[in-house]
């Protein structure tokens, strides 16, 4: 097989699986033939093609539609995937034009639904190479968002913030790390060639293989977006405090809580996902009780001091890391998820002692899963009262504090430093009696 053909084929197949089956990018890649047998380099190349494809899908489609006599969506599924992933490499990845075009044509020849179109694919990709960058000029990063998502963000945040968020999402994110022992933060910043962010996270401009980085084997740190590291810091905990981390996998927040000396129970619906939490705890030498179960029915032996609920959501705040999420979600998903979130808040409140704290967060930029959700708590969950977050608890992101005492983080924050994921955070206290 010619050099680079396997990862390019995997990328095209993964694109189809994401769009047709609404699989995540990683799951789609893992289900493609030969992906597991590829070298690390080829797997990384396949991931890069697919991630870039979804980061720039709207702009790439615009270029292709301008070069086709019929709309792209009327082309066969296989031909569409090959055109889009091929054009992505030419427009956004500086792929060697001859290698990109010849490999894509060879892949088309191997597919029954694209073979008759290989001449068209060859001609269009050659025009993309010659004319594509000029045809990109009228397009904008916000064109890479589905209409429903773009309209939602414009209404919620305004056109300026929409543009800044869309710009941030087109760029592959840096690597953020949470250090187990804050006293060693400066040491690991030097060892890792990292910057210390205002909230204490470390940030490396390059990602690479985290397992090869200093401190990984010792368990001195773990990978965790700076935004995702904030919710756990808003609980008042000390050694021996009892806390439940609901929807805990992959375990970043669990490890943050365990590092305070708290007695942590990490609960997740998926036993398989808890295996990753178990591995991370073992590597870092931290301790937590792991429970595979449903947050809606789980009852601790005794009420606890605190609950951290990272509620299931549409995850539109994580598009920097998971750009395919914009294309596998639908506008009506937010309503369905909001109903589940309401139920989980009720369950979380029942786990708390009187006076116990609940921190609710979602990695969503949709108001239905953030501001509107928190606003409903007073009416639907009367045992909970608001516990407004204070500016001095939000080092470096004080501007994210809302008048209600909630936190709204967006990819537009810290743009000059590489941005952050989108999160919503609110805090409540359980009433006595």
Binding-site residue positions: 247-253, 268, 294, 310
DSSP labels for 293-354?
S-TTT---SS-EEEEEEE-----GGGTTT-TTHHHH--TTHHHHHHHHHHHHHHHHHHTEEE
Catalytic, 361? Answer no
Helix axes 40-55, 5-21, angle to 10 degrees: 40
Q: What is the DSSP letter of 15?
A: H
Q: What is the DSSP letter of 199?
A: T
Q: Are 250 and 277 in contact (CB under 8 A)?
A: yes
User: Cβ contacts of residue 36 below 8 Å, gap of 6+?
Assistant: 30
Only one residue has tokens 């993964």, namely 14
**CB atoms near residue 340 (< 10 Å):** 15
* Radius of gyration of the chain measured on its C-alpha atoms: 23
- Distance of alpha carbon 290 from alpha carbon 310, whole angstroms: 16
Binding-site residue numbers for S-adenosyl-L-methionine are 247-253, 268, 294, 310
Q: What is the DSSP letter of 192?
A: T
- Distance of alpha carbon 16 from alpha carbon 116, whole angstroms: 19
Q: Are 370 and 341 in contact (CB under 8 A)?
A: no
- Distance of alpha carbon 26 from alpha carbon 11, whole angstroms: 11
User: Cβ contacts of residue 212 below 8 Å, gap of 6+?
Assistant: none
Spell out the alpha helix ranges (H) of 183-300.
Answer: 185-191, 252-259, 271-284
363, 401, 407, 425: which one is catalytic? 363
Nearest to 424 by CA among 368, 374, 362: 362
Helix axes 77-92, 57-65, angle to 10 degrees: 110
E strand or H helix that includes residue 409: strand 407-409
DSSP labels for 408-426?
EE-TTTTGGGT----EEEE
| Residue positions annotated with a catalytic role | 363
């Amino acid at each position: 097989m010619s050099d680079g053909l396997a990862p390019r084929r995997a990328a095209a197949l993964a694109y189809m699986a994401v769009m047709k089956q609404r699989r995540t990018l990683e799951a789609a890649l893992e289900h493609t033939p030969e992906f597991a047998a590829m070298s690390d380099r080829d797997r990384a190349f396949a991931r890069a093609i697919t991630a870039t494809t979804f980061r720039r899908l709207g702009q790439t489609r615009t270029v292709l539609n301008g070069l086709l006599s019929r709309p792209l969506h009327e082309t066969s599924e296989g031909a569409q995937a090959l055109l889009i992933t091929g054009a992505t490499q030419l427009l956004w990845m500086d792929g060697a034009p001859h290698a990109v075009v010849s490999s894509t044509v060879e892949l088309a020849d191997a597919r029954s639904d694209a073979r008759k179109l290989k001449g068209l694919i060859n001609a269009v990709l050659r025009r993309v190479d010659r004319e594509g960058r000029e045809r990109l000029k009228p397009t904008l990063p916000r064109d890479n968002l589905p209409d429903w998502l773009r309209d939602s963000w414009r209404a919620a945040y305004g056109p300026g913030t929409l543009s800044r968020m869309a710009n941030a999402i087109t760029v592959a994110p840096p690597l953020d790390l949470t250090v187990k022992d804050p006293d060693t933060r400066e040491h690991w910043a030097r060892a890792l060639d990292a910057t210390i962010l205002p909230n204490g996270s470390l940030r490396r401009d390059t990602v690479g293989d985290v397992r090869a980085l200093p401190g990984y084997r010792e368990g001195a740190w773990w990978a965790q977006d700076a935004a995702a590291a904030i919710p756990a810091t808003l609980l008042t905990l000390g050694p021996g405090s009892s806390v439940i981390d609901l929807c805990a996998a992959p375990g970043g927040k669990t490890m943050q809580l365990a590092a305070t000396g708290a007695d942590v129970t990490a609960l997740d619906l998926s036993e398989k996902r808890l295996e990753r939490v178990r591995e991370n705890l073992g590597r870092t030498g931290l301790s937590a009780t792991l429970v595979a179960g449903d947050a809606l029915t789980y009852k601790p032996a005794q009420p606890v001091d605190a609950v951290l609920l990272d509620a299931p959501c549409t995850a539109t705040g994580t598009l920097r890391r998971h750009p395919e999420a914009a294309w596998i979600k639908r506008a009506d998903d937010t309503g369905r998820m909001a109903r589940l979130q309401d139920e989980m808040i009720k369950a979380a409140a029942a786990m708390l002692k009187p006076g116990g704290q609940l921190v609710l967060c979602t990695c969503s930029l949709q108001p239905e899963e953030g501001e509107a959700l928190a606003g409903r708590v007073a009416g639907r969950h009367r045992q909970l009262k608001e516990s407004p977050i204070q500016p001095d608890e939000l080092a470096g992101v004080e501007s994210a504090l809302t008048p209600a005492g909630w936190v709204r983080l967006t990819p537009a924050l810290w743009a000059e430093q590489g941005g952050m994921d989108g999160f919503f955070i609110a805090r409540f206290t359980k009433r006595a009696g």
